[in-house]
Amino acid sequence: MAEPQARPVPLVRDRAGTRLALFVGGLVLALIAGFGLGRATGPIGSGGVTPGGGMGRGGFGQPGGHTHEDHPHVETGGTGEHVGGFSVSAGGYTLVPEPITGAELRFRVDGPDGKPVTSYAIVHDKPMHLIVLRRDLSGYQHLHPTMDPDGTWRVGLALDTPGVYRVYADFAVVEANGAQTALTLGTDLTVAGGYEPKALPAPARQSTVDRFTVEYEGTPRVGVTQPLLFRVSVGDTPVTTLERYLGAYGHLVVVREADLGYVHVHPEEQLVDGAVKFWLAAPSPGRYRMFFDFQVDGTVRTAEFTLEIPHGNP
């Protein structure tokens, strides 16, 4: 998946102050308070991590006792019933915008002391993961901003169609005592113009991207951890050359349709019979969009799926 090319994006701000202002050839990031971040359940793991809806190998849920050899300090674990990305502030940390020009998105994260945070944990090869998608769950992007010495993050952003976009900043800060706090903070961007929301595609277990067919096995259940395996093929031939991308054979972002609740899921360390294996426990009934990132021949691609969790577990 190639990084998007920067381009000017006109933005507008609504009366509630939750959207962005319209500037010719400019872009301004506005932060909104949202609905309140999914509750943290306290420190988890030997590294003293406090979860805030951020990244963990289990994401929506993982069996107890699983650890990730590369990053045991950022495991969120638990039943997966807590999702994040609703709020610009959590645990004393706040996402703060800066006025910008062109299509370069800039922001910082202020800590409990009111100062910009400059110490971040490297989680799956990056200190900051930025997920962007439109509120109709289209236009997915997985970006990696770079940080200036003063704590300002910057990244080129391409928003090609009008509408309201959700931005998730997914990271883990390193406290003064060495403990790490995993967080996901969220905000909205509004691109001016005629907005026609796209209908969510029907649920399906198979997705096609370029020449690749991706199919998943397993059925997530509410509050019950289940395995979910993704297999990549070309025609009837399984792909045996999956490459590690950001330290893993795949990444899975799951977003709930009703409120855009977010989880970034990491898989088992090794492939399982050629498949990328995740552990999931759905936090609630409803419809979700799943975005599975994988890499072959140095190119990252994203397979997209609609998942529907009925009322009453199947």
Q: Are residues 31 and 153 in the same domain?
A: yes
Residue with tokens 């929506």: 60
- Is there a domain that residue 173 lies in? yes
Q: Are residues 131 and 275 in the same domain?
A: no
For residues 169 and 95, is the Cβ–Cβ distance under 8 A?
yes
Q: pLDDT value at position 314?
A: 54
- Is there a domain that residue 314 lies in? no
pTM (2 decimals)? 0.76
Q: Are residues 186 and 288 in the same domain?
A: no
Question: Of the candidates 246, 311, 259, 256, which has an alpha carbon nearest to the alpha carbon of residue 280?
Answer: 256
For residue 304, the enclosing domain spans: 206-309
How many residues are given for the chain? 314
Q: Are residues 234 and 175 in the same domain?
A: no
Q: How far is CA 216 from CA 207, 231, 242, 279, in A?
A: 9, 6, 15, 12
Q: pLDDT value at position 77?
A: 28
SS3 (DSSP) at 290: strand
Phi, psi of 263 (to 5 degrees): -145, 140
Q: Give me 55's structure tokens.
A: 């990244």
Q: pLDDT value at position 14?
A: 39
- Is there a domain that residue 49 lies in? no
Q: Give me 134's structure tokens.
A: 């439109």
Q: Are residues 182 and 246 in the same domain?
A: no
Q: Are residues 87 and 124 in the same domain?
A: yes
CATH assignment at residue 114: 2.60.40
The residues near 297 (Cβ < 8 Å, ≥ 6 apart) are 241, 243
Residue type at position 88: V
Mean pLDDT, consecutive 10-residue stretches, the chain (314 aa), reads: 39 36 32 28 29 41 35 31 84 81 85 96 95 95 96 90 91 93 91 89 97 96 92 96 96 95 92 96 93 97 96 66
Q: pLDDT value at position 12?
A: 37
Q: pLDDT value at position 82?
A: 60
SS3 (DSSP) at 193: coil
Q: pLDDT value at position 59?
A: 40
Q: pLDDT value at position 57?
A: 35
The residues near 208 (Cβ < 8 Å, ≥ 6 apart) are 214, 303
- Is there a domain that residue 77 lies in? no
Q: Are residues 273 and 152 in the same domain?
A: no
Q: Are residues 291 and 261 in the same domain?
A: yes
Q: pLDDT value at position 13?
A: 35
Residue with tokens 């990491």: 266
Question: Of the candidates 93, 88, 84, which has an alpha carbon nearest to the alpha carbon of residue 38?
Answer: 84
User: 212, exposed or middle or buried, with CB in 10 Å at 0-12, 13-18, 19+?
Assistant: middle
Query: What is the distance of C-alpha 261 from the center of its chain?
Result: 10
Question: Of the candidates 56, 70, 49, 183, which has an alpha carbon nearest to the alpha carbon of residue 117?
Answer: 183
- Is there a domain that residue 213 lies in? yes
Spatial distance between the Cα atoms of 143 and 155, rounded to a whole number of angstroms: 8
Spatial distance between the Cα atoms of 237 and 213, rounded to a whole number of angstroms: 10
- Is there a domain that residue 44 lies in? no
Q: Are residues 177 and 270 in the same domain?
A: no
Domain tally, the chain? 2
Q: Are residues 32 and 164 in the same domain?
A: yes
Q: pLDDT value at position 11?
A: 38
Q: pLDDT value at position 5?
A: 38
Q: Are residues 146 and 32 in the same domain?
A: yes
Q: How far is CA 151 from CA 10, 30, 115, 177, 183, in A?
A: 26, 18, 9, 19, 16
Q: Are residues 247 and 185 in the same domain?
A: no
- Is there a domain that residue 233 lies in? yes
CATH assignment at residue 298: 2.60.40.10
DSSP code string of 36-77: -PPPP---BTTTTBBPSS--BSSTT---TT---SS-GGG---
